[in-house]
Amino acid sequence: MEKNRPLKKFVYHILIRRLTLAALIIAGVVSFIAYDHSKDMVIDTVIKVSQLKISMVRAQFRQLMKQGKLETKQALLEAINYPPGSNIRIREGRYVYAMIYNNQGHHIEAYEDHNYAPLNTVKQYINNMPASYPTTDKLEYSVIDIAGQPYIYTNTRLIAGAKQSPIYLHAVFALSDYAIELVRKQIMETIFYVFTIVFSTTLLLYPVITHLAGKLSDFSTSLLNANLEMLEVLGATIAKRDSDTDAHNYRVTIYAVALAEAIGLEKKAMKSLIKGSFLHDVGKIGIRDNILLKPGKLDQDEFSTMKDHVNHGLDIIHNSDWLQDAEDVVGAHHEKYNGQGYPQGLAADAIPLNARIFAIADVFDALTSRRPYKQPFSFEQTMQIIQQEKGTHFDPELVDKFSLIANKLYSEFSGRDDGGLKDQLHIVTNRYFHSGINTLSY
């Protein structure tokens, strides 16, 4: 059975959840991008600082080696500590390991920071790296991950000359707590600003969307009310021409809806039933007065002409997209369960369900109402006739369902022709169509 979900609930509850989810997804994606960008910005800053220190070390090392007073390892240590007391420590971190090597594969562990706890892990990682030999003095660097921590790895040529074999340097820079906190702080600030901007935008959009939804509801309500008024006008027009009142259309629609509710008819089919109930005899507009208004019984030719009102009705509603779904009732409300009806002689389940529902409601109202040619039948007489026609004129299962609610309907609506009847019908139509955002469904 089709669910009838109110638009107001969608706008004010479901929509805000969906907007929140969308905001979270957008903020998450943007934050991830911002995370990488912010981390890279801080890492780039640290790289520049570390490279500056390495450039100073390289320049001092070359100067010391040119003087020829120190061995290679000792010259590197003095270059690292130049100016005296500076060590290799800077605020963004420190070099924890450095290795000198040449193109013959000879390696010298030139510098180790024994105060750095994961030093052995760093040494093992670097020693397992394949040697590379830079051909220029340009610093080669990369960010590497060792045991889940970021490090800056630098590979550079220290000395290259015609009289001396080239010497190269591996150096590993470990980020300080200050640098890591700087990365974390930058990331958190960026994520905070991203979430603030995204959710602020969402909050600004929400009232705009609800306002537009309200306007859409108002326009939809006006259009639907106009269409429902058209139903009433068309129904009343044919009722007046058929020497009847529009109360017949009100009552028969109420009866049909009550029976449909008793069997659990889905909402979409219920709307079609309401339209068809109003317009079931709209085709009588095309029947000549001498036949339509004849006080006595119609002869065979006249009755054959009267049957044409079904096709006339179908022709009329086919000109409207909104009314086309009423064709089940308009086109088949004179069919009989045993196949003896018209215009197609349909039988049993071949007759549309809405037409089978309406047939019971139509006959019930006709029997219990006053006509120029008869007095209203009592409830008992009416139900006796309907029971007799079970399985011939009417669907037996629908007759059984109708029998359970018929007495209440008879007590409330039989013979009524007052304003309250129209009010009751509007309650029914609003239940299955809408009237404003509180009852508009999606």
- The reported pLDDT for the residue numbered 257 is 92
Answer yes or no: do 301 and 160 share one domain: no
Q: Is 204 among the domain residues? A: no
Question: Residue 190's closest CA among 41, 51, 335, 58?
Answer: 41
- The reported pLDDT for the residue numbered 40 is 66
Distance CA 289, CA 252 (A): 24
Pick the more confident residue, 248 or 39: 248
Both tokens assigned to 361: 């409601």
Distance CA 307, CA 141 (A): 94
Residue 85 has pLDDT above 70, yes or no: no
Tens of pLDDT, residues 277-311: 888 888 888 888 888 777 777 888 888 888 888 89
Both tokens assigned to 111: 């510098």
- The reported pLDDT for the residue numbered 53 is 75
| Most confidently predicted of 103-112, 135-144, 391-400 | 391-400
* Range 240-269 average pLDDT: 83
Pick the more confident residue, 137 or 411: 411
Question: Residue 280's closest CA among 376, 223, 361?
Answer: 361
SS3 state at 106: coil
Distance of CA 131 to the CA centre of its chain: 56
Question: Residue 124's closest CA among 163, 164, 151, 102?
Answer: 151
Q: How confident is the model at residue 267 (pLDDT cuts 50, 70, 90)?
A: confident
Answer yes or no: do 389 and 316 share one domain: yes
Q: Is 192 among the domain residues? A: no
Q: Is 13 among the domain residues? A: yes
In degrees, rounded to 5, the angle at the alpha carbon of residue 59 between the alpha carbons of residues 55 and 65 is 140
Distance CA 72, CA 108 (A): 9
| CATH code, 38 | 3.30.450
**184, 200, 224 - which closes a domain:** 184
Both tokens assigned to 408: 């209440």
Answer yes or no: do 176 and 275 share one domain: no
**147, 168, 184 - which closes a domain:** 184
Residue 398 has pLDDT above 90, yes or no: yes
Answer yes or no: do 156 and 19 share one domain: yes
DSSP per-residue codes, 153-212: EEEEEEE--SSS--EEEEEEEEEPHHHHHHHHHHHHHHHHHHHHHHHHHHHHHHHHHHHH
Q: Is 195 among the domain residues? A: no
**183, amino acid identity:** V
Q: Is 387 among the domain residues? A: yes
* Overall pTM surpassing 0.85 (yes/no): no
| CATH code, 288 | 1.10.3210.10
Answer yes or no: do 176 and 278 share one domain: no
Using an 8 Å Cβ cutoff, are 359 and 347 in contact? no
Lowest mean per-residue pLDDT among 98-102, 266-270, 388-392: 98-102
Residue 366 has pLDDT above 70, yes or no: yes
Domain that includes residue 52, residue range: 7-184
Using an 8 Å Cβ cutoff, are 420 and 202 in contact? no
